[in-house]
Amino acid sequence: MAKSKTLARTPDPIRIVQLQADPRAQGPAQALVAAPTARLTYRKGPLIPAVQVFTIFWGASWKTAPQSAMIPRLNAFFDFVLKSNLMDQLAEYNTGSYKIVHGKRTGTATITTGLRGTSVTDSAIQTFLKQQIGKNGVPKVTANTLYFIYVQPGVRVVMGGAASCQAFCGYHSDIGGRTFYAVMPYPGCTGCTGDLSTFDALTSTSSHELCEAITDPVPGLGWYDDTNGEIGDICAWETRKLGTYVVQLEWSNKAGRCV
């Protein structure tokens, strides 16, 4: 669904997985603590009720070990998590015609061309995504489509004047209020891993952005808190095990805490 012309974005909605509060931390336990006054309110924008995730692994490094072995593991993570109780707990944010249900992964693509140098901007990522949609198996946009773009190691992602591993570990955004995507830079710094393995750091960050994209796909126009940001920002770096995977806790208005 396209964004209504009567809606206006918040000035600078939080949409990133920020670095751990202390880069020297020994693990997520040293991270940010949710504010007890947090409360998400609905801003009348779209949600993604039955999310359809398509993963894109961008860069030649995804064709070689050890990164190549991580692709099926990350795809299996989505296959599991999209049918899990993590999706069930988001149902408290149902509103109007948007009823959040289990989703599915619709496919994956590894694309080795178009990524040059050691830095890429969000603008370039948007251009890349628009060029790929409808090609290389990348599906066309629907109201439930969410593209997850994993950037190869050694490439810094720059978004809004900030850079990965300097200010953030991942983010989600939109193109024109109807193309929804998340960007996962490779976690090559302590601030984006703590004591987690690279894979666990990626699943934690991915779960953060997945839940935020579902509940606030056009940042600041879905479920949002003016002080604390989105559902995942409030609980940044608080993790739990879901099956065999590490995921991040998400804010629950109903419980009044991260769950």
* Structural domains of the chain, with CATH: 19-40+47-258 (3.40.390)
* Helix, strand, coil share of the chain (percent; to 5): 25, 25, 50
- pLDDT of 1 strictly over 70: no
- pLDDT of 33 strictly over 80: no
CA 103 to chain CA mean position, Å: 15
Averaged confidence pLDDT in the chain: 90
- pLDDT of 3 strictly over 70: no
State both tokens at 95.
């509103």
pLDDT at position 194: 87
- pLDDT of 239 strictly over 90: yes
pLDDT at position 4: 29
Binning pLDDT at 50, 70 and 90, where does residue 7 land?
Answer: very low
For range 181-199, the mean pLDDT = 94
> Whole-angstrom Cα distance, residue 110 to residue 68?
10
State both tokens at 19.
């670095």
State both tokens at 67.
């990164």
Length of the chain: 259
Cα of first residue to Cα of last residue in the chain, in angstroms, is 29
Cβ-based neighbours of 42, under 8 Å, separated by 6 or more: 93, 95, 222, 223
Q: Is 64 exposed, middle or buried (0-12, 13-18, 19+ CB in 10 A)?
A: exposed
Residue type, 130: K
Tell me the whole-structure pTM to 2 decimals.
Answer: 0.90
For range 153-182, the mean pLDDT = 95
